[in-house]
Structure 1
Amino acid sequence: MSVELAVEVLTAEAFAPFGDVIEASDAVRHFTINGGNTERFHDLARLEPGADGRVIVSIFRGLPRALPFTVSMMERHPRASQAFMPLGARPYLVVVAPPGEAPTAHTLRCFLAEAGQGVNYAPGTWHHPLLALQAVSDFLVLDRSGPGDNCDEVTLDPLAHIPAY
């Protein structure tokens, strides 16, 4: 038995309980700099490395996942935020649950992130690891380095199911 997840459009409003959407759009503060040659989309995510951490920059290379897909586990980073920005022009999926107690399949939400949309998970937000679609995909990742354990994992029972759409 599994719970079917609806795939939702990723918007800043819908994703707000889980963190920030990172994208260059008219909906965010932006202005021209560098003598009129560059448009700056300003302060798009609240990066939080925690009191004893520092922000690090990595590239994650994700293998594509086939749909339908079974969500059997979730993870969270209790000490800090974690931001993902795709480096290519492919959509990907984002599965999240609110911070707090371990999630169940019934508390999960699934978003379709379009090319050019990144996400920043707020500290403690439950999320599934990278769900690239279509092809191997690279993501710029901003997260925490520092002392202490910063990754909790849980197994879901029942499982969740993302249908082909």
Structure 2
Amino acid sequence: MPFAMRDRIVNLVRDRITYAFSEELGGGMTSASGLPPIRLRAEPLTSDDFAPFGQVLGPGIGASRLIRDNTVRLTNTPSCLTHTDAATRAEIDIYEVTGKASPVVCTRIERHPLSAQMFVPQMSVSSAHACWMVAVWPDGPEGPVRAFVARAGQGVVYKRGIWHQGIIALEIDMQFVSMMFRGDDTQDTEFHTLSRAVAFEIGDP
């Protein structure tokens, strides 16, 4: 994909993401009442705005210093992968995520009661201009949603127990490294099927 087109997609995604409630996956973009979709402009992902839900990771976010004859800048981020005593194994997962076009429909969300969870995109020439979506339900799975647009150079850590959408790459395929602590039972992840699907729509609000 030409860089000019990538830049156009990135700007569109970053600045104009809305969401709408749909009564069912195959239904029109209206609520059960028949009213037009409720629209919300997504926020750029920043450390301050995301702080209630977790932590933003990235170069320069934390204590930074130059090493190896000033050829490397090292950013140290204090450990934020909190976990309960039941979660004893630190595990790393690799996600290969197909980019999705508008609208991106969400019907199920998840949370991890035993551990915080980290996602960091792997950078490459093809993904340098990519964006991805972070969506959280701070008041529970049937409460309001907050959506953020993350750049390819930004990672996040979801706090333990925060309901969130599974990983979504926007338009461009991406790879992510994930880390969390797991226990020996099946309580690492809880899923919830939303009573109404949420459709994240990319376009003019």
TM range (shorter): 0.7 to 0.9
**What do the CA deviations read for 1:53-77 (whole angstroms, capped 9, x no partner)?**
2221221111112212222221000
Within 5 Å, which residues of 2 pair with 1:131-146? 131-146=168-183
CA-CA distance at 1:51 after TM superposition: 1.4
RMSD: 1.9
Aligned to 2:110: 75
Q: Percent identity?
A: 29
TM-score by length of 1: 0.87
Question: Number of residues paired by the alignment?
Answer: 161
Q: Which blocks of at least 5 consecutive residues in structure 2 are unaligned?
A: 1-30, 32-36
SS at match of 1:163: strand
Moved more, 121-130 or 50-59: 50-59
Match of 1:37 among 71, 77, 89: 71
Displaced runs of 4 or more, over 6 A = none
More strand by share: 1
Within 5 Å, which residues of 2 pair with 1:1-165? 1=31, 3-25=38-60, 27-43=61-77, 46-52=80-86, 53-88=88-123, 89=128, 90-98=130-138, 102-104=140-142, 106-148=143-185, 149-165=187-203
SS at match of 2:49: helix
Q: Which blocks of at least 5 consecutive residues in structure 1 are unaligned?
A: none
- The one of the two structures with greater contact order (alpha-carbon pairs below 8 A, sep at least 6) is 1
Distance 1:155 1:4 in 2: 21
CA-CA distance at 1:44 after TM superposition: 5.3
Residues 4, 160 of structure 1: 8 Å contact kept = no
Q: What is the letter of the counterpart of residue 37 of structure 1?
A: T
